[in-house]
Structure 1
Amino acid sequence: MRESLERRSFLLTLVLVSIAFAWVLIPFWGAIFWACVVAVIFYPLQQKLKNKFGDKPNRAALVTLLIALVIVVIPALGISYSFVQEGVSFYQRLDEGKINPGKRFDDIQNAFPVINDLLAQFDIKASDVREKISSGAATASKFLAEEALAFGQNTFSFLLSLGLMIYLTFFLLRDGQYLIDLMVRALPLGDDRERKLFSKFAGVTRATVKGNIVVAIVQGALGGIILALLGIPGALLWGVVMAFLSLIPAVGAAFVWAPVAIYLYATGSWIQATILVAYGTIVIGLADNVLRPVLVGRDTKLPDYLVLFSTIGGMSLFGITGFVLGPLIAALFLVFWNIFMTEF
């Protein structure tokens, strides 16, 4: 009786201490999560370097970390900074009246009279649409400006999180296998199940990040290049927006370049518009169809509808981190239920 009471008391205390420890780490969960993501992605490279360097795990982990910084972290910081700067510039031009979204809508409306008939069928006033477009553009640009200001004010917090992420990534790369074996021993889910779950976590994380981020970067870069060549203002801003929208299934970069092409047709720039439509359909569109199957393995690919809902839901709950965390939770959900149906 006493031994049973002691066991239950210890387990209760263990749960409480674990919850308290997790609560302490809440301010840094973003840094911890992205450290795990980077470590998972570059772990195969670290293993190859470890075999090359022999009995020098610190050197292998350090070289892998430096490669990750050059390939992922530094470019992401540069793109983010440029995006914020472009967003602030766009807000200033909009505030000064140099950009008038309402007038752009009027130009499209005049060039395509069928729009008036279409709006009339749904009992929608063109003036209301014009006002919504103007207010939406103002709200979006103001949001970018406020985020830029907040970023400047929270620079120390951001640098601290970045430093912690880099610091933790090194140890996850160096001691990753040991930590996995330790968790397999500690967790009471069954060793085979736990290894299956960890394998699924690694596979989905690599597939999601490589598939989504690489495709998004390629599509955003291709879109930004063609917009710049065609002389569209804010090409860098719209390129990053296209990259961001490419992370969301069923949306994609066409959400940006298609309206731009329509406006070019409306203003009489037929050659530019045709080039943009052909380029967007063939080059930008095929980038997803060609790269994603190569980067995302079949074993880790989720149904498209599940990816859509989990990505949007994850981003609404966790912000930009949700585009990885949402599909990851969905994949683990499927794995748990698969294990349940198979074994129970």
Structure 2
Amino acid sequence: MYAKLETRTFLAMLVGVSLAFVFLMKPFFGPIFWAVAIALIFHPVQQLLIRKLGERPNINALITLVICMVIVVIPVLVLVTSLVAEGVALYQQIQSGEIRPGEYIDQVNKSFPAIQHFLAQFDVSFAELRDRTVSIFVGGSQFLAKQALGFGQNTFQFFLGLALMVYLAFFLLRDGNKLVELIIRALPLGDERERLLFAKFAEVTRATVKGNLLIAIIQGALGGIIFWILGINGALLWGVVMAIVSLLPAVGAALVWVPAAVYLAAIGDVIEAAVLTVFGIVVIGLADNLLRPLLVGRDTKLPDYIVLLSTLGGIVMFGVNGFVMGPLVAALFMSFWGIFIREFGHEAHLAVHRDAGSDEADRDRG
């Protein structure tokens, strides 16, 4: 009796201390999460280095981390810096009156009055929609301007998070296998189930990060190039915006290039509008429709609609990290239920057959 009390007390304290540790690490969730993602994505690179250079944990982890910094971290920092700079310039042009979003929308309404009549059928006020669109446009540029100011004020915090991510990624690359084995020994789920769940976690993380980021880069680059060719101002800014919104399945980059095509048609640049529309549907849209199921859906083994819903839900719950966290939660949900159905469902099926057999035997004896 006393031994059971000791065990229960210990387990209760273990849960309490573990929860306290989780809350302690909560402020560093972003750096920790991306350090884990980096370790998972670049694990094959480290395995290649092990085959080439032998078991040299520190050297292999350091080389892998340098490769990651060169091809991922530094380009992303440059891109974000460029986005903020372009956003600040856009905000200044709006403030000075060089760019008037409201006039652009009025021009579209003047050229295509059928839009207003169409919206009226659904009791949607064009004037209200115009004001909201202008507010969103101005608010977005103002947000980027504030981010630039905030980046200057919070430089230490930003680089602290970046340094923490890199630091953790190094140790996860070096000692990741040992940590996984330690967690498998600690968790009371059964080693086979735990290995299956860890494999699914790694598989989904790699697929969503690599797939979504690659699709975002491709769509953003294609969108920025076509904007630049057509002479649309802020091609770099709109290319980066298209890359960001392309993280949303189904709609993605169309949120940017469709309004641009409509405006070009409204001001009489029909050829440019047609070129942008065809390019957007055929090239940008095709890149999403072909690559996303191949890179995300196939590797995660999730249906397309689950990928869409889990991505949207993840972004709502976890912010920018949600485009990975959402599909990850969905994949683990399906994995847990798959294990349950395979193991316990099979046992229940056998129990039903045993009961049915015993009832039949009782009837025969009767």
User: Normalised by the size of structure 1, how large is the TM-score?
Assistant: 0.95
How much has 1:266 moved relative to structure 2? 1.0
Q: Deviations over 1:91-146 (max 9, x none)?
A: 11112211111111121122223223223333444333332222222222222222
Per the alignment, do residues 297 and 119 of structure 1 end up closer, same or farther by CA in structure 2, a change over 3 Å counting?
closer
Letter in 2 for 1:313: G
Letter in 1 for 2:231: G
1:103 alignment counterpart: 103
2:40 alignment counterpart: 40
SS at match of 1:251: coil
1:128 alignment counterpart: 128
2:142 alignment counterpart: 142
- Based on CA coordinates, which of the two structures has the bigger radius of gyration? 2
SS at match of 1:202: helix
Rounded Cα–Cα distance in structure 2 between residues aligned with 1:100 and 1:120: 25
Tell me if structure 1 keeps the 8 A contact 2:293–2:304. Answer: no
2:166 alignment counterpart: 166
Structure 1 regions of 5+ residues with no counterpart? none
Tell me if structure 2 keeps the 8 A contact 1:53–1:59. Answer: no
1:113 alignment counterpart: 113
1:270 alignment counterpart: 270
SS at match of 1:252: coil
2:307 alignment counterpart: 307
Letter in 2 for 1:247: L
**Paired residue total:** 344
Per the alignment, do residues 122 and 15 of structure 1 end up closer, same or farther by CA in structure 2, a change over 3 Å counting?
closer
2:14 alignment counterpart: 14
Rounded Cα–Cα distance in structure 2 between residues aligned with 1:292 and 1:238: 21
Rounded Cα–Cα distance in structure 2 between residues aligned with 1:236 and 1:162: 25
Deviates more, 1:43-52 or 1:307-316: 307-316
1:289 alignment counterpart: 289
Rounded Cα–Cα distance in structure 1 between residues aligned with 2:6 and 2:221: 61
- Identity level (%): 59
1:90 alignment counterpart: 90
Letter in 2 for 1:243: A
1:330 alignment counterpart: 330
Rounded Cα–Cα distance in structure 2 between residues aligned with 1:4 and 1:124: 66
2:2 alignment counterpart: 2
Tell me if structure 1 keeps the 8 A contact 2:297–2:303. Answer: no
Structure 2 regions of 5+ residues with no counterpart? 345-366
2:185 alignment counterpart: 185
Tell me if structure 2 keeps the 8 A contact 1:204–1:328. Answer: yes
Rounded Cα–Cα distance in structure 2 between residues aligned with 1:291 and 1:133: 31
Deviates more, 1:112-121 or 1:18-27: 112-121
Q: Does 1:229 align with 2:239?
A: no
Rounded Cα–Cα distance in structure 2 between residues aligned with 1:81 and 1:261: 27
1:74 alignment counterpart: 74
The aligned runs of 1:200-211 (5 Å cut-off) are 200-211=200-211
Letter in 2 for 1:156: F
Letter in 1 for 2:209: V
Letter in 2 for 1:14: L
